[in-house]
Amino acid sequence: MGALERMNSPADLRALSPHELAPLASEIRQLLVERVSATGGHLGPNLGVVELTIAVHRVFSSPRDPILFDTGHQAYVHKILTGRAGNFGTLRAGGGLSGYPSRAESEHDVTESSHASASLSVADGMAKAFELRGENDRTVVAIIGDGALTGGMAAEALNNFFVAAHRPLVIIVNDNGRSYSPTIGGLAARIVSRGANQVAGELGFDCIGPVDGHSLPELEDALRRAKDSRRTVLVHVRTLKGHGFALAEGDSAELMHSTSAIDPESGTPLHSAPGTTFTDVFGDELCALAESRSDIVAVTAAMAGPTGLTAFAERFQDRFLDVGIAEQHAVASASGLALGGMHPVVAMYSTFLGRAFDQLLLDVALLGQPVTFTLDRAGITGPDGPSHHGMWDLALAGIVPGLRVAAPRDEPTLRRALREATAHSEGPTLVRYPKGEVPTPASISAVLPGGVEVLRRADRADSTSVVHDPSRMTTEEAIPDPAVLIVGIGIMAGQALDCAHALEEQGIDAVAATALWVLPVPEALVELAGRASLVAVIEDGAEHGGVGSSIEAAMSSRGVDTPLRRFALPQEFINHASRAEILRAAGLDGAAIADRIAVERSRR
């Protein structure tokens, strides 16, 4: 029986002899490569922390000594050593293991850390709590990547450690020179390069290192010294991302940071690559805009590749700004760029907008600055789970005065949204789009004033005819009074069409419509809603405060009393599964929505 088969808890690990540890590390790496290659997930970060995680669990007594991972995508080895190796075949699948720490899975998962730079603040609070409760035999351990030190919250925590150096707290800086991509900025570099002396001394606590992060004897010695000090200690550990798997080391580190299912021998994806994605279209269109406009500047927070800015960064180096994992700084800096006469485009994942909401509200919108925000991975993202679903952006955007929001549904509308957003000079704009391949553009039967598009004409056979000029017909001419008006927001326009078709098959007159610019709510949409007997709004954001709520408020303010039903994601943290599974569970497919509408109409 190999050592890994005996790992049901950290106590089993501590029972191993030193000569059994290197074989265990090899077994863990083999398991990671085999299972993550099959399921997809964060491979490189975890291969780099195998020895470090083994050493941490041998020196400290989890969960008595809480271990916090920043970010949690480097916690796979921790999961393996705390009794979950047998479930690794379910990683990131619906009902299976989460790709991040999960309090529902294990008492050893203290937090659900999947956004960077928060661990030191949480650790500071826990250490203070233990002191207040008289639990002075407990040590808090925070493992933070050097890339996460670029986040402002990490700096705020380090500042507070100055007056708290007497508490038992071990900060492990996993220095591998990169987050997704090489680490940006001077503060993180200063901490990791000078951590053994001046910086730690200035902050009032001790520092050990640098330590070879792949040498178990060195790691255990350093961590035991840190623990025995009963003070705040920074342990500087140098590791290699992807260590032990050639395909994930060196120049391949970014590609293997998070991977789909691959052939572990060659690194070749097991499934055919998607066609053109929304991310691809964004990157291409932004480069085209920058060719013709010298004021376009791209800003990202350590996510150039994932947000589609790689080509822009190569072609327009002086107009590309990667600020590291620092979304607040990215947005406030973008405000400064706009004040200086440029038009910044801030590209981030939808889930990270919340981290910079204050800056969006008060540094950009309050000043009326022309900054364009592009939110990739809007809506349901799937296997990354609740912290990464982009389901909150519409609710957040809806309360920002002067912010115009676009929800493109395909390639042409995304390109148009970017052109129109960057041409807008009277305030901020936001363009949101989902993860994945762009769908075939839907047929348009009419375009109404304000850009409202009728996707289906239930009263005419030539429902695929296109009217490009909205001035050619009024709302009344475009469509008779519908029994049911179904409004699909962005990518959910497809569900709106499916719903309209299903209702028509049940003998209910229905019309599907959408709009590229959804906030503020177009007047023509409110007018159309006033002529229907029921309005249904389908969106892939949270139900509370979404576009459906805004349409309902706009109708109310104009005296339109047509009943409105919102079909959106439940107001809860949604676990990981495929996008299709999650939408189906939420009842967000066209046929299911049509059935609910038909039942409601039958009861009236």
Contact 248, 42 (CB under 8 A): no
Residue 229, judged by CB atoms within 10 A of its CB (0-12, 13-18, 19+), counts as middle
One-letter amino acid for residue 102 of the chain = S
Q: Write out the binding residues for thiamine diphosphate.
A: 73, 114-116, 147-148, 176, 245, 327
Strands 446-447 and 452-454: antiparallel
> Reading across the β-sheet that carries 169-175, which strands appear in turn?
67-70, 140-145, 169-175, 232-238, 206-212
Phi, psi (deg, nearest 5) at residue 523: -60, -40
- Binding residues for Mg(2+), as ranges, are 146, 176
DSSP, collapsed to helix, strand or coil, labels residue 11 as: helix
**Residue found under tokens 């708290």:** 164
Q: Are 333 and 194 in contact (CB under 8 A)?
A: no
Residue with tokens 């200690």: 233
Residue 515 host element (H or E): strand 510-515
Q: At residue 272, what is the residue type?
A: S
- How many other C-beta atoms are found inside a 10 Å radius of the C-beta of residue 266? 8
CA 199/CA 204 separation, integer angstroms: 9
Known binding-site residue numbers: 73, 114-116, 146-148, 176, 245, 327
Written as six digits, the tokens of 23 are 């074989």
Rounded CA-CA distance 279/281 in Å is 5
Q: Which residues are catalytic?
A: 241, 327, 355
404 CB-contact burial (10 Å; exposed 0-12 / middle 13-18 / buried 19+): buried
